[in-house]
Structure 1
Amino acid sequence: MKKSGWILVCLTFVFLFLGPTAQASGNVEFSIRGILPENQIDKEQTYFDLLLKPGAKQEIKIAIKNDAAVAQKFVVNINQATTNSSGQIDYSSKKAPSAATIYSIEDVVQAPKTVTVPPQSEIQVPLSVTMPTEKFAGRIMAGIQVLKLIEEDGASVTSQFGYILGLQLRNTLTQVKRELKITNPKAAISFGETAFSVNVENMTLDAIGKMTYTGKITKAGKKTALQKINWENRSMAPNSNFDLVFAMNDQEIKPGAYQLHLQVTDGKGNVWQVNESFTVSSKNAKEVNSAIIPVAASSQTPPWLYGLVGALAALLVLVSGVLLKSRRPQAKAIKELNS
């Protein structure tokens, strides 16, 4: 088959199976900034980092600037800082407090749910802060998230276009002794695939940064790693936890005894080391392995595809004939011009 024929077949399959590509405009048409008060700890930062006494109340403000030629409506979320599955601090999701959370941000910071900003204008939005009555060392961390509301078919839909401004609240600048808890190694399903996982929990009311994770899973009494992990430059939010995953890439997990070898370090020289045995039961292994899609079933060609290929081949023959007829006069003209 000629090159032009292959190109035609490839393009046909692209349009049939991929469909139209969704595109984002990227034209956010607004911005936000924090109006930092006098009790801002670090004046060089653009996020809020405030020192407040126990039980203190304070109003802080953010500015929302609308650059559009029409009025725009915005949603304001106050999101508790969490640690995501990649082992990084995350401010982007509005989640219910976990069992590890000491102070829920919903009890500490109140903000209007929606705000309307006139065209090509900037308004200041007040947020109310009420500190816990008991003194604490460490910090409460959150993200002030502003998202644009878009009208679609008469309904308001929250856009993914937005900004997040950090918020830290402290009673004292005293350093907190860090404590990490590593528990519950087990076989698990992660993102629809077989895996081993272990829960990592930051037990202190302070963030941990510049973390490294070095570890492996072995059969009990063996040195050969079934899977390894080597993460660098990770972080954890205060009083948060996440499941550290050793992805097995759809390898079958067999029942039996296993060993977790894991070392975690941070930017302050702290080291946490765990060597723990655990057992995968037959029932657990069966549940986890159910996530594996058999290769034979997944690779089997559906019958309708043969009919489609046949139709495309017939179409290709027809189009190739037309292209050859139409290209002959053009080829002659090019030859004459180059002679």
Structure 2
Amino acid sequence: MKKRTLFIWPLMGVLLLLIMVTNSQMVHGASAGFTVSANIPDNQYDEEQTSFDLVMKPSQTETLAVTLENLEDTPKTISATANTGYTTIAGAEAFDKHHPGHLSQAEYQFSQIFDQPQMVALKPRETKTVNFKVTMPPKLYDGVLKGALYFKDTKAKSRQETNQQGFSIDNYYAMALGVILREHPDTHVPAELKLRRIRVSKTNYLNVPAVLVKLENTAPATPGAMTIRATVSKHKGDKPLFGNRREGITMATNSSFEYGIPLGDTWINPGKHHLHLVAKSAHKTWSFDRDFEITVSQAMKLNQQNKSLWWIWLIVLLIIIFIILLLVMYYLGYHRRQKQDAQQIKTLEKD
């Protein structure tokens, strides 16, 4: 059950982001009903890539052209935006927000360097070129600016019911065409991971009690696909109390997310604990060791929420009932003895 939950979340992230394609010149979407393709300019960094990966200079302005084709016999209205990449709660790059807010700590957002969003009207079976104007920041920029040109059909959508009564999710058909802007074609800034904080939560994206570790990529670069392995023990070097391992974690430039470690069937005692986390990509390995504390209140809430520990709570309940019965028996016996003593005293006084 634990492994299945860990694999479901990345898949849910993909579904919620709909169709996120960043590496093909012609992005086909049979269900979306339209396609997008990049018109690659001469300053393409990697000519084998069919999404935009451009070498530019400070303050340089360029127009990126994208061809849209309506595959259906009905008209479409497509929303076209230039979006900064961010990292989802499930640990995946996403490009579906024009203003990602706190989800991206990039020095420059795509909403700042690209022109405004636009609405594109497509007649049935029509093909049209859409232009995006971008102006690089005035000062020399290390690393890369990474995002996507995001196209969403404003009308076509499907409704997905949730397990919460009265709630549903509207999934719009959308596509993303990757954009990388760089000013140093011969210099590559490596990604850099930092561990920002550790907290425990009974309500989170995993829907199970978990330890949440906030990881931040502080560099204008992406680490690529990572495997993260994390364990929690009472003290450093002790046998792990619980832990997990996930593959295929990706992070956007200058972004963060909380990596979740489910407690499983572990009974949590309050006090100090130790986290050991290793994140490994094809180019680098990051290792973190940090102590954190779980309060009495937090431990009680986590254990109460953990449904797999029902038998422990049953034992606790039986012990409490047993103690209550002992107290009641003691109370009744005490009062009985008092009555007996009082009766004896009255009998002696009469004699």
Does TM, scored on the shorter chain, surpass 0.5?
A: yes
Shift of 1:108: 1.4
Q: Which among 42, 45, 49 is matched to residue 45 of structure 1?
A: 49
Asked if 1:175 corresponds to 2:188, the answer is: yes
Q: Which among 258, 280, 291 is matched to residue 273 of structure 2?
A: 258
Q: Deviations over 1:52-110 (max 9, x none)?
A: 10111111111110122232111113222112233322223445332622211110122
Shift of 1:160: 1.7
Q: Deviations over 1:274-297 (max 9, x none)?
A: 12111111233345456456998x
**TM-score when normalising by structure 2:** 0.69
**TM-score when normalising by structure 1:** 0.71
Distance in 1, matches of 2:94 and 2:156, equals 28
SS at match of 2:112: helix
Shift of 1:203: 1.1
Quote the residue 2:235 is aligned against: 220
SS at match of 2:101: coil
Q: Deviations over 1:103-128 (max 9, x none)?
A: 11110122433110122111111111
Distance in 2, matches of 1:75 and 1:279, equals 47
Q: 2:273·2:294 contact (CA, 8 Å) conserved in 1? A: yes
Q: 1:286 to 1:78 in 2, by over 3 A?
A: farther
Q: 1:283 to 1:133 in 2, by over 3 A?
A: farther
Q: 2:278·2:288 contact (CA, 8 Å) conserved in 1? A: yes
Shift of 1:150: 1.8
Q: Which among 83, 94, 99 is matched to residue 87 of structure 2?
A: 83
Asked if 1:146 corresponds to 2:160, the answer is: no
Distance in 1, matches of 2:173 and 2:294, equals 44
Q: 2:190·2:223 contact (CA, 8 Å) conserved in 1? A: no
Distance in 1, matches of 2:307 and 2:228, equals 30
Quote the residue 1:282 is aligned against: 296
Distance in 2, matches of 1:219 and 1:267, equals 31
Q: 1:221 to 1:44 in 2, by over 3 A?
A: closer
Distance in 2, matches of 1:185 and 1:293, equals 23
Distance in 1, matches of 2:87 and 2:126, equals 36
Q: Map of 1:258-337 to 2, 5 A cutoff? A: 258-268=273-283, 270-289=284-303, 291-292=305-306
Q: 1:151 to 1:204 in 2, by over 3 A?
A: closer
Q: 1:196·1:247 contact (CA, 8 Å) conserved in 2? A: yes
Q: 1:252 to 1:78 in 2, by over 3 A?
A: farther
Asked if 1:71 corresponds to 2:86, the answer is: no
Q: Which among 184, 199, 202 is matched to residue 197 of structure 2?
A: 184
Distance in 2, matches of 1:101 and 1:252, equals 40
Q: Which among 247, 250, 253 is matched to residue 232 of structure 1?
A: 247
Q: Deviations over 1:208-244 (max 9, x none)?
A: 1132212201122562222222223432211111111
Distance in 2, matches of 1:179 and 1:27, equals 38
Q: 1:285 to 1:26 in 2, by over 3 A?
A: farther
Q: 1:194·1:252 contact (CA, 8 Å) conserved in 2? A: no
Shift of 1:29: 2.2
* Runs of 5+ unmatched residues, structure 2: 1-28, 158-169, 311-351
Matched residue type, 1:280: I
Q: Which among 60, 70, 93 is matched to residue 56 of structure 1?
A: 60
Distance in 2, matches of 1:255 and 1:95, equals 40
Q: 1:177 to 1:31 in 2, by over 3 A?
A: closer
Q: Map of 1:153-164 to 2, 5 A cutoff? A: 160-164=172-176
* Aligned-residue identity in percent: 23
Q: Map of 1:80-159 to 2, 5 A cutoff? A: 80-98=84-102, 100-150=105-155
Shift of 1:186: 2.2
Distance in 2, matches of 1:147 and 1:121, equals 16
